């Protein structure tokens, strides 16, 4: 009997856990807001879709919830400035029509502005 209860408890927790990681889609006029989750339930990505393609601002997060990327899509293609965080380095990547045109690395330990 204890094994059966334990088995049901495990199955119930697995079902609840899998529901927490299902993507969520919210229609907002002509666009759809999408939220994707990591297996641990933390948000993995948020952004928008238009006509079935990635469109607008997208944010990506690591398993621990820290932001790791930010950028914009235009009709499914990366466009403009994207930012990627890797430890103490911030990578600034310029895209044009889904192609990289420039990359700049910023060390976050360096002074950027002094007042």
Q: Which domains does the chain have, with CATH numbers?
A: 23-107 (2.20.110.10)
Q: Is 33 exposed, middle or buried (0-12, 13-18, 19+ CB in 10 A)?
A: middle
Condensed to tens digits (0 to 9), the pLDDT of residues 11-55 reads 444 444 445 689 999 999 999 999 999 999 999 999 999 999 999
> Residue 85: beta bridge partners?
90
Condensed to tens digits (0 to 9), the pLDDT of residues 95-110 reads 998 999 999 998 866 5
Give alpha helix (H) positions in the chain.
2-20
Residue 40: its H or E element: none
**pLDDT-derived band at 57, boundaries 50, 70, 90:** very high
Contact present, 40 and 65 (Cβ < 8 Å): no
């Amino acid at each position: 009997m204890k094994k059966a209860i334990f088995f049901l408890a495990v199955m119930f927790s697995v079902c609840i856990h899998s529901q927490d990681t299902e993507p969520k889609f919210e229609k907002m006029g002509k666009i759809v807001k999408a939220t994707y989750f990591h297996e641990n339930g933390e948000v993995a990505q948020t952004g928008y879709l238009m006509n079935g393609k990635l469109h607008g601002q997208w944010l990506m997060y690591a398993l621990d919830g820290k932001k790791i990327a930010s950028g914009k899509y235009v009709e499914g293609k990366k466009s403009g400035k994207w930012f990627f965080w890797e430890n103490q380095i911030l990578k600034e990547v310029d895209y044009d029509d889904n192609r990289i045109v420039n990359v700049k690395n910023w060390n976050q330990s360096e002074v950027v502005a002094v007042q």
